[in-house]
Structure 1
């Protein structure tokens, strides 16, 4: 398959994966990409590739803005705290970008990694419960 066809197939697969994903899986996918962007930004900062670092940090900020927009802090006791974390890392990513500060980028990674792990675990539990319900409904 030529490279352009391979890229198109990969893009279609990724689009279909997102469109068919459950809300829990979408959240996990956002966190995975967010941490990937931050890791790439950190590596670019260490290599003094400021253009790439900036692009990665800007994309990471877009993801956090999406997470903020979808969060409903009034319906969950932990919501206001999570919103505060999101706002803090947004500010940190802006500072990391403007000041070219790899320590700020690392701080954002350190704050977000446990959240990603927690969402992965929660999504797995939801998936297992849904599978058990389907199995019980069939048999």
Structure 2
């Protein structure tokens, strides 16, 4: 049965194409959190190929966040760029060393980023 998958894909595609830039950013960091959670779970389970894939995708998201950040247009942009770089390095280390503790550290950072961007998006929507 392909209908539920097709319907879900259509819904997700529509959600992304109609989302505001702030909502897109929140969706991206939410996916970052999900990837790191999945990577950590896979590491704990000893499923190294799955952990590798999830952590690589998380690294791709952080790379995208870094590439889209204009440090000159944002207050504390330089500090945010440094945080993104630190998170990216922790994800690489967690993946290469297969280290759940480092992955957990990255997850805490990703969750905090997600919470911060959600709050910023809500504040922007109310303005």
Provide the C-alpha distance between the structure 2 equivalents of 1:6 and 1:118, rounded to a whole number of angstroms: 33
Show CA shifts across 1:21-64 (max 9, x none).
00000010001000000001001100000011001001101111
Q: Which has the larger radius of gyration?
A: 1
Q: TM-score, normalization: structure 1?
A: 0.87
Residue of structure 2 in register with 1:54 after alignment: 52
Q: TM-score, normalization: structure 2?
A: 0.95
Large movers: runs of 4+ above 3 Å = none
Counterparts in 2 of 1:13-92, with a 5 A limit? 13-92=11-90
Unaligned segments of structure 1, at least 5 residues: 130-139
Please tell me the root mean square deviation across aligned C-alpha atoms, in Å.
Answer: 1.0
Unaligned segments of structure 2, at least 5 residues: none
Provide the C-alpha distance between the structure 1 equivalents of 2:75 and 2:15, rounded to a whole number of angstroms: 31
* 2:110 corresponds to which of 105, 109, 112: 112
